């Protein structure tokens, strides 16, 4: 890594629902991210954030979450697909910050009980991330029929996901390092 400081890459578990199978996927992504040299991570569960739901935007900002987003070089967002979309609480939580996200990398992990593996949640989240100033990577992870991919304790049953996660993290960390360099060394409007 080019910087003395490790990359900070939080993994956001994007649903508060009970019995959520995406929790297994988020814990797996967190564990795989933590294995990377020069990377720090934490698992952020939207269900446990003290963000009010009767307010919006910057007025609902949680200082600890905001600081984590400010410190982050990239985000892994694990989002289940609900009726072709993303969870409302995930969108609400993401909307509480703005400038903290600008020119930072984001990768999406889609989770679905069906065969599309959250492809539609990924499709619908990309414009949201762009509007927030995040840079979406082109490699995603899709957990199809998630109920068959983990046992009850959360152990991955299908090892074929590990190379996909590795490729996803390679791309995310490359983009995070590149964007961190840009944030530190390239002034907007200084080229061309």
> Tens of pLDDT along 128-139?
999 999 999 999
pLDDT at residue 97, rounded to an integer = 96
Half-sphere exposure of residue 170: CA atoms within 13 angstroms, side-chain side: 6
**Per-residue model confidence (pLDDT) at position 77:** 98
The CATH code that applies to domain 7-182 is 3.40.50.360
Of 43, 57, 41, 36, which is closest to residue 14 (Cα–Cα)?
A: 43
Average pLDDT over residues 43-54: 95
Q: What's the confidence (pLDDT) of residue 3?
A: 63
| Arithmetic mean of pLDDT, 10-18 | 96
d(CA 78, CA 121): 10
Span 27-38, mean pLDDT?
A: 98
User: Got the DSSP string for 28-78?
Assistant: HHHHHHHTSTTEE--EEEGGG----SSS-GGGG--HHHHHHHHH-SEEEEE
Element (H, E) at 110: strand 104-111
Span 44-63, average pLDDT: 92
CA distances to 123, 129, 147 from 74, in Å? 19, 12, 28
pLDDT band at 90 (very low <50, low <70, confident <90, very high): very high
At residue 1, the pLDDT reads 45
The pLDDT of residue 114 is above 60? yes
> Rounded CA gap, 68 and 129, in Å?
17
Percent above pLDDT 70 for the chain: 97
Pairing of the two strands 43-45 and 141-143:
unpaired
Cβ proximity of 165 and 159 under 8 Å: no
pLDDT at 189: 78
Please name the residue ranges forming H helices in the chain: 22-34, 63-71, 88-94, 119-132, 161-185
Q: What is the pLDDT of residue 55?
A: 85
pLDDT average, residue stretch 111-135: 95
């Amino acid at each position: 890594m080019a910087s003395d400081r490790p990359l900070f890459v939080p993994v956001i578990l994007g649903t508060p629902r009970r019995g959520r199978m995406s929790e297994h996927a988020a814990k797996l992504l967190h564990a795989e991210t933590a294995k990377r040299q020069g990377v720090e991570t934490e698992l952020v569960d939207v269900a446990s954030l003290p963000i009010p739901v009767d307010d919006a935007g910057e007025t609902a900002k949680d200082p600890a979450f905001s600081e984590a987003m400010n410190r982050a070089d990239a985000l892994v967002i694990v989002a289940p697909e609900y009726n072709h979309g993303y969870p409302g609480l995930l969108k609400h939580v993401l909307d509480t910050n703005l400038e903290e996200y600008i020119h930072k990398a984001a990768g999406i992990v889609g989770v679905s009980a069906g065969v599309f593996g959250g492809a539609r949640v990924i499709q619908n989240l990309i414009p949201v991330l762009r509007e927030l100033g995040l840079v979406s990577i082109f490699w995603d992870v899709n957990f199809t029929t998630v109920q068959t991919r983990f046992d009850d304790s959360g152990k991955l049953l299908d090892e074929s996901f590990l190379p996909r996660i590795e490729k996803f993290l390679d791309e995310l960390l490359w983009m995070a390092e590149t964007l961190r360099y840009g944030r530190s060394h390239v002034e907007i409007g200084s080229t061309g």
